Structure 1
C-alpha cells in the first residue's frame, strides 16, 4: 500500500499540465506516447505515476539487467507491490540446468499475470521478453488451486501429482516432490517459494501451512495455494506472449522503432522541431557533498538549508528519502544544531540513488545518500529463497582418499592409505576394510565400523613424516608427551583465565541515544542470528567481568557489523578500540568500513600497517598515546612494543584462525582485563573447544542475509557459448569476472580469444 507522502507526490505529477495531457493521450489510445528529458533518477518515479493514474497492467522494459535492478529498487518507494521478472540464466545453452529459484520465480510471476486480472506492474528486460516460456493456455489449465475447508480426495491428488511428474519421497527436499504420512500431504510445487503441508480430515482439507525445508516445521498458515501440475518445462511460447491486448508496455531508454506504447528517455525522443522541456525532470541541485561534509562543514550545511528555503518559498513539495530510521533521526539532530528549519519538508524511508526535481509539478525529491556523501546501497533485489545456506558438514568420505595418502590411526600412528577393499569376514561372507601400510611394509586392515579411528594426516610444511611402526611404542610415547604438553598449556591458559575472572574489568553502561541512532542507520536488515549476537556482545560489555566472546559465521553473514556496533559502544564511553587483522588488505577494508559507518559521528578511525609511511605511523602512535584516536585498525603492528594506548577498552580480532599461537598468547598478556571480541568463519579446533566448554562465550550466525545467494557451480565441457553468455550477463549487471586459466604459456591466447568473444569487456 502507498503511504500519504507517496500518493501526494504521484498526484502532483499526474495533475501537472504536461503529464496530464500525455496521460489523456494514452487513455485515448493514441500511441506511442513519449516522455523526454526525464533524468535517470526520476524514471522509476514517472513510471509509478503513469501506473497509478491508468488502472492497467504495465510492463516496464529496461535495456539491461543492471538497469532493471536499479529501477525496480527505486520503484518500490512508490509501488511496493511491483513485480520483478528475472532473466533466465543460460537460457539458450544446452545441457545447463537453470537456476531453480529463478525458474520458480518466473513461473510464479507468469502464472499470477495469466490468472489474476491485475492491474500489475512488471519490471523486466528486453532480453527476458524474448526468452522461452510455457504456453499461456497450458499454464492456466495446469494450475490447481487447493483451498482450506474445500473437499478434495487425497488419493485423487496423489494420482494427479504422479501424472504431472512429481516424485513421491519419504521427505520433501526440493521442488517437484511430494510425501504422504497418514492424513498429511507435503508437496513442493514447481513455482512455489516454500513447500506446503496439507492436513486432511477425510476428504476435506483441514489446514494448509507453508513449512521450512530444513526444520520441517510450519512457517505460516495460508488460506489457499496454487499447485502447478504441468507446463513447468514446457517451452511452447515466449514471455512477450503474456503481454495482453489491454496491457501497456513502457520502454525505458528505448531502441529505435521499439514496439512500446510509452517511452521514457533522458534525451529527446519526440518529433522533429523544437524540443519541449515543459514536462522535464531534472537532477536536484543540492551541491557537491563529499563523505563527512554534511556533518563537519558548516558552510555546506548552511548552503543546503538556504536551498531548502528557496524550494519551499517557490511552493515546492520537498521529500527526502533515507535508507533507515536512524538516518532520519541523525539528520534531524544535525539540522536542529545548524538552525535549519524542516517545516514543510517530508522525511521518508526508502532507497534512492539520486534526487530529482519536477518544476511543472512543484516537486523536489532528494536522496540522503547524496547529502551524506555515501554510495547508495544497491544490492541485488531480495530473492525470497526457500533454501537456507546450510552450515552442516558432511562426514569424511574415505572413498575420496587416494592411494599413497598419509593417514593417522588413533592407536598405531602415521600410516599410508592403500585402498578400500573387501576381505573374508570371520563369520563368513565379505566385509569392507581400509588397507593401511605402516613401517617395514606392515599392513593393517581396519573394518569400516572402526573407520572413526582413522583421519587424514594434516602437517605443517612439505616434509612428510616417517611411517609409524606397529612393533614399537614410539607412537604411544608421542601421544603421552603431547598430552603432557597440553596439560602444561592448559595450566597457563587457566592462570590467565583465572586472572580475567577474579579481577574486574570496565563495565560499560546501557545504550545511549546515539547508539540507537547508529544502529538504525545500518542500511541492511539484520538477520535473527545477527541480532542475537549483537545483544549478547553488548550484554557482555555491560558486565564487570571482561568479555571474551567468539562470533562464528560464514563470510558475508554480518560478523563485522557486530564488531562495529561493539566498537561504537566502547567509543561512546571514551574508550579506545583496537581491530586486529591478519593481512594489510583486510586492514584496509576494515578501515574503510569502520570509517564509512561512523562518518556522521565524532569518531576518529586510523590504520596502522605497512600501507602507512613511517612518518604517518609515528603520528598515529603519538595520537594513540594522547587519546586522539578512538579506533585503530591494523595488523600485527598493533602488538609491537612501541604501541601504547591511553585507555584501551575493546579488542576485536578478525580471522582469528590466521594468527599463530604465540601471537594469541601475546594478545592475552597485553589485553588481560580488556574486552575481547573474536570473529571467525572457520575457528580452529582449539578456539572452538574453548567456546564449547565455556571458557569463551560463543555466538553463531547461521542465518544468511536476504541478499545472499548460494554459489552455483556448473561442470561442463569447454563451450564458448557458455563463456560468452556468462561474461556478458555479469557485465550487464556492471559486475566483474575472474577467468582462471591453468597454463601460463597459453594465457595470452586465451585472453585474446575472450576479447574476441566479448569485445565490450575491458
Structure 2
C-alpha cells in the first residue's frame, strides 16, 4: 500500500474537510456534487481521502468492467484494508445462459464480505451492478452457514445443509462448491473464499478449522470461523420453486429440470427465474452498509453504457415472450430484472456521496467543483530536468512524493543533479515521512505493484506525485492483490484475438470443439461478437461476454483430438475418467511419500573442522535465505532416511554454494557425489567452482562430458567404480549404461526440469 501515507496526508488537509462539508450540504439540498478536473489517479486519491476522513466504506461505480478493474488496482495501493472488485456480466437475464462460475463466485465473495459487516472497505463495480440481479439481502443472509470452533454440529445435518446450499459431494475437494467427508473430517470449498477449509470434529463438536491447499491437500493456517454462502443463486430460487410449481413454469423448465427439483436437487438455468422467485430482486446497493458512500465515476458514460444494455434486455424479453406458447410462462419471466438507467441513478442519488469527472467543465452536471489536478511532465531518464523540477517544487513548498520500483537508484540519480530526496523503506512509517515532508525533503517510496499509475500534481493540496512513468518511461504492473484475484480466471479463459481458425477449445458443458471464426451478429438490433465453434453435430456460437465457459485445449500428444457432440455423454465420461486418473495419481503420490518416509538411508555425520574451514573460505556473507537452505540440507543429510529436496532461487542467488557445502559434507563422510547439469557449459562451470573450492583438501573431482576423449571417459568411469573418484560433474553422459558408482551418497541435479522423462527415470535408479 505505497500510497496509503499520501492518502493519510490528504485526508487531514483543510481542503478535504471543506469538500466533505460541501458534499454533505449538497446532499441535504438534493444537489449531488461532482468533483471534476483530474486523471483517474487524482480522482482516486481525493475520493479515498474524503472517505477515509469520515471512516466510511465506499462503493465506486464505473462505466465499464475494464474501468472497474483499473480503479480496483489503484485503490488497492491507497491504504484501504480491503478492496473488492465486483464482477458483472454483459449477458441479460433472458438469454437462458448462467454467468460463468468466476463471475458468480466473485460476486458471492464480495457479498459475503458485505454481509460480515467488516469495515471500512471498498467495492468497485461497473454500472451493471445497479440493475436488479440478486436475491434479497435477508434471503441470502438467512441461507449462509456460519461455523466456529467449539460449535456443536451433527455431521448428518451438516451434510444435508451443504446439499441444500448446492454443494456437490466428491471424493477429493479441489474445486469451489464441493465437499467431502472422511470420518470426523469434512473438507469444503466455499465459493466465496480463496481456499478450501478442513473441519475437524471431535464427536459432534467442531474442534479445529484449517485452510488447505487444494492441489497438495496439505493443511495450512488455522482459522476461527467458516462463512459459507450458497453455491450461486440457483439453490435459493429452487427453494421457492419447490413450494409450488405453476403449470406455466412446468412447460418452461422441462421434464428433466422438474424431476431434479422434486428430488431435492438444483437444476441449471434457474437464474432467469430470479424475478419470479423474488418479485423485488436486489442490487448491489441493497447490500452496502447504510452509512457507506456511493461514488459515480463519469455519470454520463455510465448512463449511456447502461441504457444500451437496458434496451437490449427489453428487446430480448419481448422476443422471449413472443416465442412462448403458454401465456402463464410469459408472465413468469416478467420480473423486475431490468430498469431504466435513469431509475438506477436516481436510486444512487439517495445515498450520500458524489460524482467524479475527468474534465473540468463536467458537462451536463449543474453542481461541480474542480479539484484542480494537473498532469506532470514526462521526462524519462532526463534527470537534469527532473532535478530542476524537484528543486522548483521544493522552493514552492510542495510536498513531493516519488514512487519507484528502484527508489535507491532514483534517489542517487537525482542527487547527482543537486536534488536531495530520501528513501523511506517502510511506506507506512508516517512519522518519518511526515518529518521529511515538514523539512521540505521529497520522499521516495518503493512501488510494490501498482496498477496503471501515473504522476499527478494537486496544487490545491500542495502535493505532487512522480512515478516511474515520468522518471523512466516505465508503466507499473497491476497490484499484487488484483493479480491474485484475476490470475485463476484468466488462466482458464481464451483470448479470442489469439485464436486461429482450426484451434481447439474446450467448452465446460459440451467439451472439445474447433474454433472457426469470430463473427458479429445483430440480435434485436444490438451487434455483438460471437465465437463460432464447430462440434460433431453442429455449430455453437458463444457470446464474447461468455468466454469464461471456454478454455484452452492442452494435450501432450500432437494428434488432433476427436470433436465431441453438443450435450452428449462422451464429454462427461471423459471428465469422470480424468477425475479417476487424478485420484490414482494422488494415491500413488501418497504411497511414494510413505515409502520415502519409511526408507532407510545413510545418516551423515555432523559437521567437522574441515566443514567449518571450507565454509569460512566463502568470500561473501551468506544471505539469510542461503543459510536457511544450507541448514535444511544438512538436517536432511544427517537424518536416517534419504533426502529428496528442491532448492529454488533465481540466477545469482547462491544455489551453487548450497550445493558445494552439501557435496563437501558428503565426501568428507566417505561417500561419492554426482552433480548433473543440463549443458556442457554449466557442467564446466560447476566443475571449476568445485575444483577450486576443494583444492586445499585431498578430494578428487572429475568432469564427464562430450569433450572428453573415449579413453578419458573410460578411465573416469573406472575410477568411479573403484571409489578412486570422490566427485564427478557431468551432463547426461553420467546417465549412460556403463556408469557405476562404488558408494554413491548424494546426487545434485541442476535445473532438473530440463531433463527428459527417460533421464529422470535413470536418476531414480541412481538414488536407490
- TM-score calculated relative to the size of structure 1: 0.49
- Looking at secondary structure, tell me which structure has more helix per residue: 2
